[in-house]
Amino acid sequence: MTLRPFRIILVLVTSLIPLALLAILVFLAHYSWPALTFNGWHFLTGHTWSLGNLYADPVKRRGVLVPIGANYGILVFIVGTLLTSAIALIIAVPVSLGVAIFLAEGLRSHRLKAPLSFVVEMLAAVPSVVYGLWGYAVLTPLVAHTLGPGLRAVLGFVPFFSGPIGSGYGLLAASIVLSLMVVPIIAATVRDALARVPSETKEAAYALGATHFEVVRRAMLPAVRGNIIGAGILGLGRALGETMAVLMVSGGALNYFPGNIYSPITTMASFIVSQLDSAMQDPTGMAVRSLAEIALILFIISVITNIIARLLTGASRNASPA
């Protein structure tokens, strides 16, 4: 009987997180409802975002008042979000696997494992604006003068890597910054998974004459395949929602599809921040509500990716190593 109040308190405290997520979802859905009904599916398929004439009298369209010429389409921002996240994962996953394998198996000195692991985990705690400032001051000139020309010289036969490089602000710079922010998440998750691989699995591989590299590649990595997938999806969720760092190096393209990997782009999250001040000048409020609709879509995508990551990671932990 004495445990019952304690259990009730635990249930209430545990319920705060899903209730907070539900409250955010309900708020975004309620606040953006006028935009949802006004924009329809064109919101996802249109590629032109225009606030219209904010100084003329609003006109009634589809039953609501909006500025003359207002149009809200976010396909360009969806493409920018998906491209930056995908390229960031392509860069981050191999690097993260290398870091995780080195920390779990390649580093022989146990005295160095803890501090190096701590350094990797601390990279995830660095504020995103710090990454953005580094990208602005160091990375974008590097892309414009060194990395971009080098990629074009080597891979210029591929259309996506050819064409003008510009000032360095764009898809490539944003993807590199995102990859640096994603690496600690994936590396720490995979390192912990590798450390939990039963010693019997490794000893059996050694008994069959496998080298250290073969043990890692053929025995350990297959055993943590689910963790690697889950960590990658966790990294994807982090990349999808990043705002300030991307905003500082992406170039802020509006109504513009990227022509190559050097093109300026805009992601959904960074667009909300960059356009909020202008949207607040809309006397009808439709622009702000349309930004809330972007936030609703991004919120749903992020929640789904994190749920998938947790399910995959949990399933791999319960499964016996192959």
Q: What angle do CA 187, 217, 193 make, to 5 degrees?
A: 35
47: buried, middle or exposed (CB in 10 Å: 19+, 13-18, 0-12)? middle
pLDDT of residue 317: 59
Of 13-17, 96-100, 180-184, minimum mean pLDDT range: 13-17
How confident is the model over 179-189, as pLDDT tens digits? 999 999 999 98
How confident is the model over 189-203, as pLDDT tens digits? 899 888 888 888 888
The residue among 102 and 110 whose pLDDT is bigger is: 102
**Gap between the Cα atoms of 175 and 93, Å rounded:** 13
pLDDT of residue 321: 46
Query: pLDDT confidence of 238, banded at 50, 70, 90?
Result: confident
Of 8-17, 142-151, 174-183, 274-283, minimum mean pLDDT range: 8-17
Handedness of CA 245, 248, 250, 253 (dihedral sign): positive
Quickly count: other Cβ atoms within 10 Å of residue 83's Cβ. Answer: 20
Partners of 71 in the β-ladder:
50
* Percentage with pLDDT > 70 across the chain: 96
Query: pLDDT confidence of 320, banded at 50, 70, 90?
Result: very low
180: buried, middle or exposed (CB in 10 Å: 19+, 13-18, 0-12)? buried
How confident is the model over 37-61, as pLDDT tens digits? 999 899 999 989 999 998 888 888 8
pLDDT of residue 252: 86
- Report yes or no: 253 and 167 within 8 Å, Cβ to Cβ: no
**Gap between the Cα atoms of 177 and 166, Å rounded:** 18
| The two three-digit tokens of residue 222, written as one number | 């297959």
One-letter amino acid identity for 283? P
- Kindly report the average pLDDT of the chain as a whole number: 88
Q: Which residues neighbour 48 within 8 Å (Cβ) at sequence distance 6 or greater?
A: 71, 73, 255
Q: What angle do CA 269, 274, 280 make, to 5 degrees?
A: 110
How confident is the model over 118-143, as pLDDT tens digits? 888 888 888 999 999 999 999 999 99
How confident is the model over 287-309, as pLDDT tens digits? 999 999 999 999 988 888 878 77
pLDDT of 315 > 80? The answer is no
pLDDT of 254 > 70? The answer is yes
